[in-house]
Amino acid sequence: MLPDSELLKIQTLADLKKSGYRSRPIREELRQNLIDSLKRKEAVFAGIHGYEETVIPDVQRAILSMHHINLLGLRGQAKTRIARLMINLLDEYIPIIAGSELNDDPFAPLSRYGKDILAEKGDQTPISWLHRSDRYTEKLATPDVSVADLIGDVDPIKAATLKLPYSDERVIHFGLIPRSNRCLFVINELPDLQARIQVGLFNILQEGDIQIRGFKVRLPLDIQFVFTANPEDYTNRGSIVTPLKDRIDSQILTHYPKDISTGRKITEQEAIVKTEQEQIEMPNLAKDLIEQIAMEARSSEYIDQKSGVSARLTISAYENLLSSAERRMLMNGETKTCVRINDFWGILPSITGKVELVYEGEQEGAASVAQNLLSKSIRSLFTNYFPHPDSEKKSKTNLYKESVDWFMSGEYVDFLADMNEMDYKTALYSVKGLYKIVKNSLPNLPESTQLFMMEFALHGLAEYSLIGKQRLDKGLQFRDLFSTMFSGGFGKEGEEEE
C-alpha cells in the first residue's frame, strides 16, 4: 500500500484502484493494526495504569476476536479513556466518496447518494480522505435519547425542500449511528438508555443493518461498538436488556488501582500543576496520603461502595493540596514552601463532593466523614515510617516517651493554617523529643521534608491516642490526651486549660 502522503493525493476512484488500495471492515482493521503493534511491542493503551495484567489483555483479546465490547465498572475507572485510545488502532486515513454523510466506501457504497454518484461518474467518482480522529463518535446515554437521535427518521423539511414524497428514501435524516459507518461508536452509561431504544440496537449488533420508519432500506453498517456501564445502574436507574447483553460479545470488568504506587502514577499524570506551583515541594508521603484516603474511602462503612470512589477524587485532592500550600505561601509573602499536613484540611472539598454516603454517613456528616478518612490514612501510613506505638510502650528506649511526657506536663502547641515558615519551624522544634523521633527513624532528610515528617509524627501520635488533638478556628492544637478528652476534642482558639 502507498504511504499516506501519496494516498492523500488520490482524488478519484480510478486513481484509488490503480494504487492497489483495499478496503477492509473496521473490526478487521483494528485487529490487524493491533497485531502489528503487539509484534512491534508498542504500548497500545499508553497512560492507562494498573490494567496491564487485567483489563488491557481482555480488551486486546476482544479486538483480536473482532468483538463489540462492554466496559463494566464503577465511575472513574478509565472506561471512556480506553475507548478513546482505541482510535490509535485505526488506519490514519481511509477513502470515502466525497460528500457522503455515511462515509461511503468507494468500492461498496451504502447510501442512495453514494450509489447515485458512483452510477453517474463511475471511475471519476470524487474521493476524499477521512482521518482516524474523525472516526470516533461518543454518545452519553440519557433517558431523553430517541430512536431518531441514534438511528434516524423522516425529515419533513428535507422532503419539502427537495419536493419528494415521503415514500422516497432520500427524505430520511440519518441518526448518529448510520453517520458513524466505518467508525468507532461509544455509548456511555448504556443502562440509562430506555429499554425501547436498546431494542433498536439489536439488528445493528447482530445483522449490522438498520430499518427506519418501515422503509425497505438495508444498510449493512460497518461499526465497532464500545459500551460503558456502571454496575450500580443495573439496580438503581435502569438495566441492559437481556437480548442486548447477549449480543455484546465481550464484557470486560474494570477496577480501581490495587496499590498506592499505581494510584500515584494516575494522579500525577492527570493532575494539572500550574507553573507557579512547580516550586512547591510535595514529599512522597503527602502523595501517598492522598492515595490512602481514596483507599480508605473504598472500604469505609460510611460510604456507598456500590457507587464507588472515582480516581477524580485523588486528582482533585492533589490539585487542592498544592493550592492550599500556594495560598499560604502568597499570604505570607514567601517564594517557596513545602506541603504540610495542616494543608490537607484544604482537600476536604475534594472528598465531600466525590463520595456518596450511606445512612450512617449522612448522620455523621460529609465533613466529619472526610476528616475521618484523613485520620485513618495517617494512622495507616504512620507505622511505615515510625515504630508502632504499642511495641514502643514495651521498649526500655521508648522513642515517644519524651514527647508524650512534655504534653503531659501541661504543654501544648498550635498549628495555624496560614502559619509562616519561621513560626511553623519554631512550633515543631518547641515539642520536646519530636526532632529525635524523626532523626532516629529517618536520618539524613532535607530540612523541609524533616519538618513535614515531624508534623506527621505529631498527627500519628494523636491518631494512636498518645497525645490529644483538637480543632481550632484557624488550625489545630496538640496537647495531652486527657485535657483534650475533657474539652470534648474540640475547642476554640485561645481556650486552653491551665
pTM recorded for the entire structure: 0.87
- Say how far apart CA 300 and CA 288 lie, in whole Å: 18
The label of the residue with cell 511505615 reads 384
What pLDDT shows up at residue 159? 65
**DSSP codes joined into one string, 21-89:** -----HHHHHHHHHHHHHHTT--TTTT--S-TTTHHHHHHHHHHTT--EEEE--TTSSHHHHHHHGGGG
Task: Give 25's Cβ-side CA count (13 Å radius).
Answer: 12
**Region of 20 on the Ramachandran plot (φ > 0 left; ψ -120 to 50 alpha; else beta):** left
Residues 6+ apart with CB under 8 A from 231: 72, 73, 74, 306
- CA 255: distance to chain centroid? 11
Dig out the grid coordinates for 118 from the structure.
458512483
What pLDDT shows up at residue 173? 77
- CA 15: distance to chain centroid? 45
Q: How many residues does the chain have?
A: 498
- Say how far apart CA 291 and CA 302 lie, in whole Å: 18
Helix (H) or strand (E) holding 208: none
What pLDDT shows up at residue 491? 41
- Fill in the amino acid letter for 480: D
What pLDDT shows up at residue 497? 38
- Say how far apart CA 325 and CA 346 lie, in whole Å: 9
Nearest to 297 by CA among 283, 285, 311: 311
- At 260 the three-state DSSP class reads helix
Dig out the grid coordinates for 46 from the structure.
499508553
Each residue's pLDDT tens digit in the chain (498 positions)?
Answer: 566 677 788 999 999 999 889 999 999 999 999 999 999 999 889 999 999 999 999 999 999 999 999 999 999 999 999 999 999 999 999 999 999 989 999 999 988 889 999 999 999 999 999 999 999 999 999 888 888 888 877 666 766 676 766 566 667 778 899 899 999 999 999 988 888 888 888 878 877 777 666 666 677 889 999 999 988 655 445 688 888 889 999 999 999 999 999 999 999 999 999 999 998 999 999 999 999 999 999 999 999 988 889 999 999 999 999 999 999 999 999 999 999 999 999 999 999 989 999 999 999 999 999 999 999 999 999 999 999 999 888 888 899 999 999 999 999 999 998 999 999 999 999 999 999 999 999 999 999 999 999 999 999 999 999 999 998 888 999 999 887 665 555 443 333 333
Question: What domains, with CATH codes, occur in the chain?
Answer: 4-253 (3.40.50.300), 257-382 (1.10.8.80), 386-498 (no CATH)
Task: Give the other-Cβ count within 10 Å of 98's Cβ.
Answer: 16
